[in-house]
Amino acid sequence: MSEALNILQSVFGYESFREPQDAIIETVLEGNDALVLMPTGGGKSLCYQIPALARAGCGIVISPLIALMQDQVSAMRQIGVRSSFLNSTLDPHAAREVEAQLLSGDLDLLYIAPERLTQERCIALLKQASIALFAIDEAHCVSQWGHDFRADYLQLSLLHQRFPEIPRIALTATADARTREEIIMRLDLGGAQQFIAGFDRPNIRYRIALKHNPKPQLLRFLKEEHAHHAGIVYCLSRRKTEDVAFWLREQGFNALPYHAGLGATVRADHQARFLREEAVIIVATIAFGMGIDKPDVRFVAHLDMPKTVESYYQETGRAGRDGEPANAWMIYGLQDVIKLRQMMAGSEGSEEHKRAEQHRLNAMLGLCEITTCRRESLMNYFGEHLAEPCGNCDTCLEPADTWDGTDSARKALSVVYRTGQRFGVNHLIDVLRGAENKKVSQFGHQALPTYGIGQDLDNQQWRSVFRQLVARGYLSVDLEQFGALRLEEKCRALLRGEENIELRRDTRGKNIKLQTKTELPSDIDIALWEALRDRRRTLAEEQGVPPYVIFHDRSLKEMCALLPSSSMQFGRITGVGERKLDKYGEAFLAVINDHLNPN
């Protein structure tokens, strides 16, 4: 481990390991397998990069996204790690050059796409090479219960069969107990030591609100809090991503769409701009984001509700990887639930799979509707418990206004029963509010005891009641009956008067006093900060890499605070290893000197 610590300090520029990085690295260095669950931004990559450098041979990294390999390789080369990749973007000549480097021992890390790795020719190549370890990144892709399933990952158990003596490390940011079990089974990791780091990302502020006017709601959020920040906006459909991106550009934002229906060149260009330019907003489906290593994403917004808590946590985790404050903002409605359930019903999965997906969707809806701490609920889902409410989510900062909804809930359940459990929300509200329309007359519902008994609430309030009853399991949505609401067993006690229910009081456009952006420490000179950022941007553009590959914001802040005047002092800055000191020390010291001595 002394060599591992030396690599951490001299190559990567960090003083010490975070728990449990040291234990994971020691396990792999000893030649043992490991399964690592660590939140996005928690330092997973170091857990295989350092053992790859410390062990004899080359570390082989199986990565699911070709588009990201170039950036990962560029980042490694910046710090002097000999890296390359093998994927379908290389022509035969370039691929042979990489293969020759591997065989001659001239590579420390080699990134390979899973579909290439499983080819017999690639297996034969690896058999001839000296291999330090296999790292299976984004390991949740192996699980058919997971949210980013990739069929290519199902064959990766061959690593244990064909290379039994080489340690394997599988890594992911989110996986519930069932997904972990499938990862272990499908990758043949029964003997692996499991490392489950804390899931909590305290720098992320979780905020979930009712959807009532999506575009103005999003615009207000962006203008008031993230006018000049990079971020991601997630939508359910491809068409919606393009529509929202176009509309945001009309509002003055640098917004780009991203979805699987765009051409590969367009997707690669938009992703590259997001990584390398500042204040770019990507409007995307879930096709975007896995493996994104951009540290300064200040917000992730959802205009539609994700289908699982795992998806939500994985996607929101792309914000604030640098540890600075970030926002996870979402708006949702009952229509989102109906749309997601329709998508699930139309899938080709087994009935067991569909039932599991329904349970996961119910858990996601429950997270939206809770009136207690969001973070506590999130952590509980992943088997972790907070000692007290987080103080950094909307329900903690502005506790939900609740009301005794017992009587209204009973009316809602009664109208579902009286109408035969055959109708959707709109018609049920019409009956409760005594509407006089063709459909009410057609079915004779004006003669029901529940007709007109709900005039004390408006349409929006009744929608809230029905939505919360679905979220809490008193009602379910019957997709075969076009979104009809059906009674669940749980509703009996409420109907019989044996229990009461508190409901959240929905509010529209309510102001929540929240941070608007990351503030610099008061003693930092803004002019120097911007000068350092300009130098970083120039260097990044010259080399065709994202700015954070040169230095993270944390390093620039330390430069502003410590004002190093020599190479020795500059080398003590976090993130400055020997290679970056040699490569960039003089350039950044010159910026600091020019700022302190303008004449």
DSSP assignments along 142-165, one per residue:
G-TTSSS--GGGGGTTHHHHH-TT
* CATH 3.40.50.2000, applies to 402-504: no
Dihedral, CA of residue 54, residue 55, residue 58 and residue 60, to nearest 10: -90
| d(C-alpha 339, C-alpha 359), whole Å | 15
Mean pLDDT lowest among 145-154, 215-224, 442-451: 145-154
- Predicted pLDDT of residue 479: 55
DSSP 8-state secondary structure symbol assigned to residue 590: H
- Predicted pLDDT of residue 507: 62
Q: Residue 134 — pLDDT band, cuts 50, 70, 90?
A: very high
Give the SS3 label for residue 171.
strand
Architecture of domain 204-397: 3-Layer(aba) Sandwich (3.40)
Q: Residue 144 — pLDDT band, cuts 50, 70, 90?
A: low
The yes-or-no verdict on residue 487 having pLDDT over 90 is yes
Superfamily of domain 2-196: P-loop containing nucleotide triphosphate hydrolases (3.40.50.300)
**Domain layout of the chain by residue ranges:** 2-196, 204-397, 402-504, 526-596
- Predicted pLDDT of residue 515: 30
Q: Residue 408 — pLDDT band, cuts 50, 70, 90?
A: very high
Tens-place pLDDT, residues 337-359: 778 877 777 777 777 777 777 77
- Report which of residues 538 and 111 the model is more confident about: 111
- Cβ atoms of 515 and 527 within 8 Å: the answer is no
Strands, sheet with 204-210, edge to edge from the N-terminal-most edge strand: 204-210, 326-332, 297-302, 230-234, 280-284, 254-258
| d(C-alpha 142, C-alpha 151), whole Å | 7
DSSP assignments along 59-128, one per residue:
EEEE-S-HHHHHHHHHHHHHTT--EEEESTTS-HHHHHHHHHHHHTT--SEEEE-HHHHTSHHHHHHHHH
The yes-or-no verdict on residue 333 having pLDDT over 90 is no
Take residue 332 and report the two structure tokens written for it: 């949702």
- Predicted pLDDT of residue 294: 86
Take residue 259 and report the two structure tokens written for it: 């979805």
The yes-or-no verdict on residue 12 having pLDDT over 60 is yes
The residue behind tokens 């297996």 is 123
Nearest of 386, 400, 393 to residue 507 by alpha carbon: 400
- Predicted pLDDT of residue 412: 95
The yes-or-no verdict on residue 149 having pLDDT over 70 is no
Tens-place pLDDT, residues 294-320: 889 999 999 999 988 888 998 998 999
Residues 546-562, mean pLDDT to the nearest whole number: 90
| d(C-alpha 376, C-alpha 383), whole Å | 10
The yes-or-no verdict on residue 201 having pLDDT over 50 is yes
Nearest of 405, 316, 259, 389 to residue 39 by alpha carbon: 316
- Report which of residues 545 and 560 the model is more confident about: 560
- Predicted pLDDT of residue 65: 76
- Predicted pLDDT of residue 126: 94
| d(C-alpha 516, C-alpha 370), whole Å | 25
Of all residues in the chain, the percent with pLDDT exceeding 70 is 94
- Predicted pLDDT of residue 234: 96
Is 204-397 the same fold as 2-196?
yes
- Predicted pLDDT of residue 242: 93
The yes-or-no verdict on residue 93 having pLDDT over 70 is yes
Take residue 266 and report the two structure tokens written for it: 């367009």
| d(C-alpha 107, C-alpha 83), whole Å | 6
The yes-or-no verdict on residue 498 having pLDDT over 70 is yes
- Predicted pLDDT of residue 473: 76
Q: Residue 140 — pLDDT band, cuts 50, 70, 90?
A: confident
Identity of residue 159:
L
Take residue 500 and report the two structure tokens written for it: 């009461």
- Predicted pLDDT of residue 225: 94
- Predicted pLDDT of residue 518: 43
The residue behind tokens 């397998």 is 33
Tens-place pLDDT, residues 265-282: 898 899 889 988 889 999
Superfamily of domain 526-596: HRDC domain (1.10.150.80)
- Predicted pLDDT of residue 69: 82
Q: Residue 511 — pLDDT band, cuts 50, 70, 90?
A: very low
The yes-or-no verdict on residue 41 having pLDDT over 80 is no
Return the sign of the alpha-carbon dihedral for residues 450, 453, 455, 457. negative
Provide the pairing of β-strand 254-258 with 280-284. Answer: parallel
- Predicted pLDDT of residue 510: 40
CB atoms within 10 A of CB 503: 22
- Report which of residues 524 and 135 the model is more confident about: 135
Residues 92-105, mean pLDDT to the nearest whole number: 94
- Cβ atoms of 47 and 18 within 8 Å: the answer is no
- Predicted pLDDT of residue 480: 60
Residues 420-444, mean pLDDT to the nearest whole number: 91
- Predicted pLDDT of residue 509: 43
- Predicted pLDDT of residue 484: 84
